[in-house]
Structure 1
Amino acid sequence: MDSAVPVDPAEPEPILTSAGPLILPDIPPAGATAVPASTATASSGAATPPGVAPGLPFGRPGRSMSNNPFVFGFTAALGVLTAWWLVQAVASASSVLILIVVSLFLAIGLNPAVEVLQRWNVPRVGAITVVFLGVILVFVVFGLAVVPPLTAQSTQFVDQLPQYVQELQNNPLIRDLDQRFQLLEKLQQYVTSGDFGTQMFGGVLGIGSVLIGAVFNSLTVLVLTLYFLGSLKSLKKMAYRLVPRSRRTRATLLGDQIIDSIGGYVAGNLIISLIAGVTTFIFLSIMQVPYALALALIVALTDLIPLVGAFIGAGVASLVGFFVSPTVGIVCLVFFTIYQQIENYWIAPTVMKSSVDVPPLATIVGALLGGALLGVVGALLGIPLVAAILLILREVVLPRQERA
């Protein structure tokens, strides 16, 4: 039975190199007299080549370059180039990243509806299917309500275009300007030339490409939302596992609260927009404004945009009312002004009371900053992100500052 060989703790461990273990020269203990290298070599009987240190077949290692200015500068430049490359990569993929963020935001917002159906003993797959079909139904209804009026009005405008030109020719002011500057003649030459056809064809292609891009982005968002909605629980578990075990419980509670806040904000905003759309449809139907359903859907969709969305929808509906008659337009302006006050001071606080607890100043700042950074998408995401930041400050940062 082999006996364990005692190891001297004072003996240094050899350094492994490509030529084998590097034997360091013996360091005499404190109080001992150092033996010259020539004497040690002679006693061991090993011949050392001239110019080579004993035990170092490839020569003595040089001084470390960790503090070399060249190495420091090269490393710093490499870091700057890497950061610049990452920024360029993010900027190039910004459109795709926005679609992913919007899809995840919608999935988190639709998750409360899925959980409500699950509490009614509906399987999660069935609940997701029902909610997703409801979203698709909203898009279909919006398309059926908006596209036919636009097509009809465009056709009517093209049919009445010669009449509009004749009215312009009969106008004394236009006739005087035409006699002085030959406006109609120049307009006719421009239309009959090839430049107008080229620009018109290019404009049609541009509009077509925009429409195709919008349809493609909408389908991409719908598909990603479906995938995120189906795998939301697994995504949350994976994200929480990235947190150290000692802090995982607290991070899970905070993360669930943030997700619930975002879902509550989306659900509350959808309820407010639904109330605005239904109220607008009833009012426009009573006032006999044409395309009341299409205008009500536009008001409901624009009402989702913080700060300015309600004014956009009200402006479009009131403009159509002025085409009916000046009286109807003024009545529309008065109605939307009164309704916005009711929504801002009664409907919105009541609906959002239990979902997102954000001070009014933080809401305005979040919407403005989000709109400045990412446009409409940023304005939509700004308020729930501000709610998440305030929650982290209240539950993590401020208690830590009090203990310090």
Structure 2
Amino acid sequence: MKESNATPEDGESTLGTDDGVPDGPRAESIASQQPPGSGTAAAETRPPSFLSRLLRFLKITTADSNRPPSDHGDDPEPAIGVPGVRHPVFTGFMFSVGVGLALLLYFILTNVGSLLVWIAIALFIALGLDPIVRYLERHRVPRPVGVLAAMLLLAVIFGGAVGILIPTIVKQTTAFVEKAPDIVDSFLNSDFFTTVDEQFQVRERITEEVDKFFQNTDALGGVFGGVIGVGSVVAQGLFGTLIVLVLAIYILAALPGLKSWFYRLAPRSKRERVELLSEQISNSVGNYVMGQAIVALLNALYAFIIMSIVGVPYSLLLALVVVVLAFIPLVGAVIAGILVSLIALTVGWETAVVYAIFYFGYLQFEAYFISPRVMQRTVAVPGAVAVIAVIAGGTLMGIVGALMAIPLAASAILLIREVFMARQERR
């Protein structure tokens, strides 16, 4: 068919629509010549599909209300990824799933809480041993050899504790349980308590409560557990310690692979930044754990020497208590000093005063000379933040929470400084 060269008449337009159909009277004449039910008319009268009816039933509306009609009816096509109004049944189902997952998580945490605590302690021990391994690596020692050296160090410490400390601790603990009434009587008859009783008249009340406590076999069994209970507690402690040490060795050996896997979870564009921050956090935590261990060991060694000189009973057992409490920053060493001073009162107030003077004097020396040099590679934590972190950690997880409070607070401060504050400075 030949094309027409005729010019358009007045009132008509040669402009067509997007699909090539002209507008105006010519379009109307062309449309009137088409048979009914053909072309776009058939598409407009086509019944809605199953998907359209389902979406209409669920009343899922898209954010774009001006979308053109779809080929399957008058309903707009749903925009993929655009949230809309959900059906109440769907909302209730998802809420039930969320509640079920929360209950499952609570059940898991309450039943494997001890395992999670062991894993957390093992992770901190591994991070504390990692500076030793990295130091050996810098001196061209292969990492497997460094891990083996760390393993031998832990084995020596654990074997020494089992071979030397444990028998003495069991013996002294048993003797302490058996002589606890005599120790209380000695304290009640001491010059210090006599002076206090003359001012406040508390002897009769304390004596009555102490006698009632030691006559209650259930209370004694619950608190001390007798000789068998002490042995059971020691055995459980040894088993838990062994599990923690084994986990620490495995984590230390697999630490580079674990870090690499963790870094791959971040987007490629931000992976280098995530790796840098993670290395800073792990190095800070590792240096803190190692430094705190050195400070605690020096503290316990000094306390043991002073207790041996002034004649405080159960010096080895109390030294073990001191080394555990000294790991707790800020308040742990103070609590250990007060505890040992109270036990020293059973010997005499002079012994308690002498020990308190020398021990708390050492704490001042430690705070100004030892800790700053040992902790110089860790992130500085403000005093108020440290106190709040220790109290919160101790409230949530006891001694373990208090031990981990400072490194976790230091990590949070590092993230805030390097991420949030840096982002605010760029605005």
Name the SS for the 1:355 alignment partner: coil
Evaluate the alpha carbon distance shift between residue 314 and residue 70 of structure 1 in structure 2; reply closer, same or farther with a 3 A threshold. Answer: same
**Distance in 1, Cα, partners of 2:116 & 2:266:** 24
Residue of structure 2 equivalent to 1:174: none
Residue of structure 1 equivalent to 2:130: 111
**Distance in 2, Cα, partners of 1:201 & 1:361:** 37
Evaluate the alpha carbon distance shift between residue 147 and residue 250 of structure 1 in structure 2; reply closer, same or farther with a 3 A threshold. Answer: same
Is 2:146 the counterpart of 1:124?
yes
Is 2:121 the counterpart of 1:102?
yes
The alignment's TM-score, normalised by the length of structure 2, stands at 0.68
Name the SS for the 1:306 alignment partner: coil
| 2:173–2:317 contact (8 Å) kept in structure 1 | no
After superposition, what is the alpha-carbon deviation per residue over 1:282-305, rounded to whole angstroms, capped at 9, x for unaligned? Answer: 222222334433332322221111
Name the SS for the 1:98 alignment partner: helix
Evaluate the alpha carbon distance shift between residue 256 and residue 36 of structure 1 in structure 2; reply closer, same or farther with a 3 A threshold. Answer: farther
Unaligned runs of 5+ in 2: 1-17, 61-84, 187-203, 205-210
Residue of structure 2 equivalent to 1:317: 340
Is 2:74 the counterpart of 1:74?
no
Tell me the amino acid that sits aligned with residue 96 of structure 1.
Answer: L
Tell me the amino acid that sits aligned with residue 115 of structure 1.
Answer: R
**Distance in 1, Cα, partners of 2:170 & 2:229:** 19
Is 2:158 the counterpart of 1:139?
no
Evaluate the alpha carbon distance shift between residue 130 and residue 116 of structure 1 in structure 2; reply closer, same or farther with a 3 A threshold. Answer: farther
Q: CA deviation at 1:249?
A: 1.2
Q: CA deviation at 1:250?
A: 1.4
Any residues of structure 2 matched to 1:179-218 within 5 Å, and which? 213-218=236-241
Evaluate the alpha carbon distance shift between residue 306 and residue 145 of structure 1 in structure 2; reply closer, same or farther with a 3 A threshold. Answer: farther
Residue of structure 2 equivalent to 1:352: 375
| 2:170–2:230 contact (8 Å) kept in structure 1 | no
Per mean C-alpha deviation after superposition, the further-off stretch among 327-336 and 202-211 is 202-211
Residue of structure 2 equivalent to 1:237: 260
| 1:278–1:296 contact (8 Å) kept in structure 2 | yes
After superposition, what is the alpha-carbon deviation per residue over 1:45-71, rounded to whole angstroms, capped at 9, x for unaligned? Answer: xxxxxxxx9798989845252345324
Any residues of structure 2 matched to 1:135-284 within 5 Å, and which? 135-137=157-159, 139-140=161-162, 141-154=164-177, 213-284=236-307
| 2:133–2:147 contact (8 Å) kept in structure 1 | no
| 1:314–1:336 contact (8 Å) kept in structure 2 | yes
Evaluate the alpha carbon distance shift between residue 356 and residue 291 of structure 1 in structure 2; reply closer, same or farther with a 3 A threshold. Answer: same
| 1:277–1:296 contact (8 Å) kept in structure 2 | yes
Residue of structure 1 equivalent to 2:81: none
Q: CA deviation at 1:233?
A: 1.1
Tell me the amino acid that sits aligned with residue 129 of structure 1.
Answer: M
Fraction of identical pairs, as percent:
34
Q: CA deviation at 1:208?
A: 7.1
**Distance in 2, Cα, partners of 1:106 & 1:69:** 51
Residue of structure 2 equivalent to 1:393: 416
Give the count of matched residue pairs: 344
Residue of structure 2 equivalent to 1:88: 106
Q: CA deviation at 1:361?
A: 2.2
The alignment's TM-score, normalised by the length of structure 1, stands at 0.71
Q: In angstroms, what is the RMSD of aligned CA positions?
A: 4.0
Q: CA deviation at 1:365?
A: 2.1
Evaluate the alpha carbon distance shift between residue 58 and residue 227 of structure 1 in structure 2; reply closer, same or farther with a 3 A threshold. Answer: closer
Evaluate the alpha carbon distance shift between residue 38 and residue 138 of structure 1 in structure 2; reply closer, same or farther with a 3 A threshold. Answer: same
Evaluate the alpha carbon distance shift between residue 368 and residue 201 of structure 1 in structure 2; reply closer, same or farther with a 3 A threshold. Answer: closer
After superposition, what is the alpha-carbon deviation per residue over 1:336-381, rounded to whole angstroms, capped at 9, x for unaligned? Answer: 2222222233322232122232222222222122222222111111
Q: CA deviation at 1:89?
A: 3.6
Evaluate the alpha carbon distance shift between residue 72 and residue 331 of structure 1 in structure 2; reply closer, same or farther with a 3 A threshold. Answer: same
Name the SS for the 1:324 alignment partner: coil
After superposition, what is the alpha-carbon deviation per residue over 1:247-297, rounded to whole angstroms, capped at 9, x for unaligned? Answer: 111111111110000011111101111211221122222223344333323
| 1:117–1:127 contact (8 Å) kept in structure 2 | no
**Distance in 2, Cα, partners of 1:389 & 1:198:** 43
Name the SS for the 2:346 alignment partner: helix
| 2:299–2:323 contact (8 Å) kept in structure 1 | yes
Q: CA deviation at 1:384?
A: 0.8
Residue of structure 2 equivalent to 1:303: 326
Name the SS for the 1:353 alignment partner: coil
| 1:303–1:309 contact (8 Å) kept in structure 2 | yes
| 2:147–2:249 contact (8 Å) kept in structure 1 | no
Evaluate the alpha carbon distance shift between residue 135 and residue 36 of structure 1 in structure 2; reply closer, same or farther with a 3 A threshold. Answer: farther
Unaligned runs of 5+ in 1: 1-26, 44-52, 165-176, 178-183
**Distance in 2, Cα, partners of 1:119 & 1:143:** 37
Q: CA deviation at 1:219?
A: 2.7
| 2:300–2:323 contact (8 Å) kept in structure 1 | yes
After superposition, what is the alpha-carbon deviation per residue over 1:96-122, rounded to whole angstroms, capped at 9, x for unaligned? Answer: 222211211111112112333444536
Residue of structure 1 equivalent to 2:311: 288
| 1:113–1:131 contact (8 Å) kept in structure 2 | no
